[in-house]
Amino acid sequence: MTSNRKRKKIEDSDTELVEAINAGRHDLFQELVKRYENKLYNFGSRMCGDTRDAEDMVQETFLNVFKYLKDFRYETKFKNWLYRIATSICIKKRRKSKFAPDRELSLEEFLPKDDAPTPGEIPNWAQLPLEKLLNEELSKMLQEGITSLPKKYRAVVILRDVEGFSTAETAQILNIGESNVKVRLHRARLYLRDRLKGYFEHGV
């Protein structure tokens, strides 16, 4: 099964499950939690930069889902709606990660010159096989780099390069324009490339 077909099957399954819950099968809500709790926790760990915040985010996300599921609009993918709630909660978290900078970074210095082309390719670290990416040293460096990003940039790079959402889906989740997503993603990638430059120059 191709990745697109598999994704479509999951989306259809999500829709059927949500419809059943909204039709009165509240006992099925636990199936929805089971389907996404680990994925949300991993997302929260990267996005919030703190395991306690990630745990709180997962709980708060599902409380909001349970409360507002009846208002879910089916023209939107459930997963996108779910991550929109989770991202909003993470951004509002006040606890400061130990990796976060004392002051918010300015990514202007990582912008290309006006006449420089804007690369659209996926960065090296996002193309690595999973077992390579999970290498302890690289994983730690990447997590620290992502966590040090301002949250608006962190959200874009995690949703696009880690979670695999499209530019359009990321824009929908964050409620911003697609062009804004592209600008933030480009700046974040340049910053992370600079952070990881030494690692890749010495070979992986």
Q: What is the pLDDT of residue 21?
A: 94
pLDDT 10s digits, 142-164 = 888 888 888 889 999 999 988 99
- The dihedral through the CA atoms of 12, 48, 85, 165 has a sign that is negative
Same domain, 116 and 197: yes
Asked if residue 185 lies in contact with residue 157, where contact means CB atoms within 8 angstroms, the answer is yes
Same domain, 129 and 62: no
Q: Is the pLDDT of residue 32 over 50?
A: yes
Same domain, 84 and 119: no
Quote the number of domains for the chain: 2
**What CATH number is attached to the domain comprising 172?**
1.10.10.10
Q: Is the pLDDT of residue 108 over 80?
A: no
202 band by pLDDT with thresholds 50, 70 and 90: low
SS3 101: coil
Same domain, 164 and 81: no
Q: What is the pLDDT of residue 192?
A: 86
Q: What is the pLDDT of residue 99?
A: 46
Same domain, 120 and 54: no
Among residues 35, 60, 92, the one where a domain terminates is 92
Same domain, 113 and 68: no
Same domain, 134 and 170: yes
**What CATH number is attached to the domain comprising 10?**
1.10.1740.10
Among residues 92, 127, 155, the one where a domain terminates is 92
165 band by pLDDT with thresholds 50, 70 and 90: very high
Could you tell me which of 61, 63, 59, 200 has the C-alpha nearest to residue 123?
Answer: 200
What is the rounded average pLDDT of the residues 2-14?
Answer: 67
Please report which residue ranges of the chain form alpha helices under DSSP H. Answer: 3-22, 29-48, 51-68, 78-92, 124-127, 130-133, 136-147, 151-157, 167-174, 178-201
122 band by pLDDT with thresholds 50, 70 and 90: low
Q: Is the pLDDT of residue 135 over 70?
A: no
Asked if residue 105 lies in contact with residue 54, where contact means CB atoms within 8 angstroms, the answer is no
Q: Is the pLDDT of residue 43 over 60?
A: yes
Range of the domain at 139: 107-201
What is the rounded average pLDDT of the residues 16-44?
Answer: 94
Largest Cα–Cα separation, the chain = 58
Higher-confidence position of 73 and 58: 58
What is the rounded average pLDDT of the residues 96-123?
Answer: 49
Burial class (CB in 10 A: 0-12, 13-18, 19+), 93: buried
Same domain, 61 and 19: yes
Could you tell me which of 101, 23, 99, 30 has the C-alpha nearest to residue 65?
Answer: 30
